[in-house]
Amino acid sequence: MISFDWAMKNQLRNKANFEILEGFLSELLRRKIVIQHIGESEGNKTDKDDKTNRVDILVEADGKELVIIELQYDVEYDYFQRMLYGVSKSIMEYIATGDPYSDVRKVYSVNIVYFNLGSGDDYVYHGTTTFKGLHTKNELQLTDAQKKMYAQKHVPDLYPEYYLIKVRKFNKKQIKDTLDEWIYYFKTSQVKDDFTAQGMNKVREVLAFEILTDEERKDYWAKIEAKRIRDNELESSFMDGEAKGRAKGKAEGKAEGKAEGKAEGKAEGKAEGRVEEKIAIAKNLLKLNISIEDIANSTGLTKDEIENIINK
């Protein structure tokens, strides 16, 4: 299937395909979601310079609700603040000066990240805002009048909610429910025949790779190769961190020079391996008649390096 980030940029903003995001959000929020509008955002750029490391869209659902859906590949250590900023910005943009505060829109921040954000053993996290008494520990509740005014039952219903899906933590061999079917798709770009999650039939219908035009396929593979490079770099960084931690413990008491020599040799070997991988990817993209400029943007190789590959 087409990867979800590609679909968000190209197919899912088409009203005819709203059913796909409606299905995912319905499984995540555990209620039926109807999308009324999908807005443009900075992350929707599809020009040749776009590296697809981040994709975000703003969804208007069920009349007054806003849903920010964001995919993030590259490590951002301040990503928690980014989530807060995105929600705050959306709230401010959708209320006019002088409007009553009761018109503030409910916002859901749905974040699909492909790096290790925070520390925890789960792969789906949900955050809400609650108020608890310092002395009684009881949770603050809405009065009957406020429930009628806001058309909500609980205080957290008035505030933004955050969903964080850590794709790297998901074990694709253990699918527990229909939400996991969606996360399996996010991780593998595959949909199994027995998947029954809401929206999956539409995914099978409109996100199959074979429906792309030849030009779309070339562009798609260029973006996929670029994503693979980033994934490998993230994986290497993650593995290096673990390996260095183990090596540090074993290296205690050993000569400092010997340890440094091993580290330098390991780093040089990995660097050479990454260059060879980029060259292999460039060769595959050349077979697809993708331009040298696009290959350079996707792999990080220089134009001269790519031309040397062609001339060999």
pLDDT value at residue 204: 93
Quick: pLDDT tens for 255-266.
Answer: 554 555 555 555
**CB of 57 within 8 A of CB of 5?**
no
Name the percent of the chain lying above pLDDT 70. 77
pLDDT value at residue 208: 86
Strand 161-166, strand 106-113: pairing: parallel
Spatial separation of the C-alpha atoms in residues 82 and 42, rounded to whole Å: 14
Does residue 244 or residue 224 have the better pLDDT? 224
Q: Which residues of 283-298 are buried (b: 16+ CB within 10 A; e: fewer)?
A: eebeeeebebebbbbb
Amino acid, res. 224: I
Q: What are phi and psi of 170, to 5 degrees?
A: -75, 130
Spatial separation of the C-alpha atoms in residues 55 and 110, rounded to whole Å: 12
pLDDT value at residue 214: 81
Quick: pLDDT tens for 127-184.
Answer: 999 999 999 999 999 999 999 988 899 999 999 999 999 999 999 999 999 999 999 9
144: how many CB neighbours lie within 10 A of its CB? 8
pLDDT value at residue 45: 43
Q: Where are the domains of the chain?
A: 4-210, 212-311
pLDDT value at residue 293: 76
Quick: pLDDT tens for 86-101.
Answer: 899 889 888 887 888 8
Does residue 308 or residue 204 have the better pLDDT? 204
Quick: pLDDT tens for 28-49.
Answer: 999 999 888 887 554 334 444 4
Average predicted confidence (pLDDT) for the chain? 80
Q: pLDDT tier at 52 (50, 70, 90 boundaries)?
A: very low
Query: Which is nearest to 90 in space by CA: 17, 16, 161, 18?
Result: 161
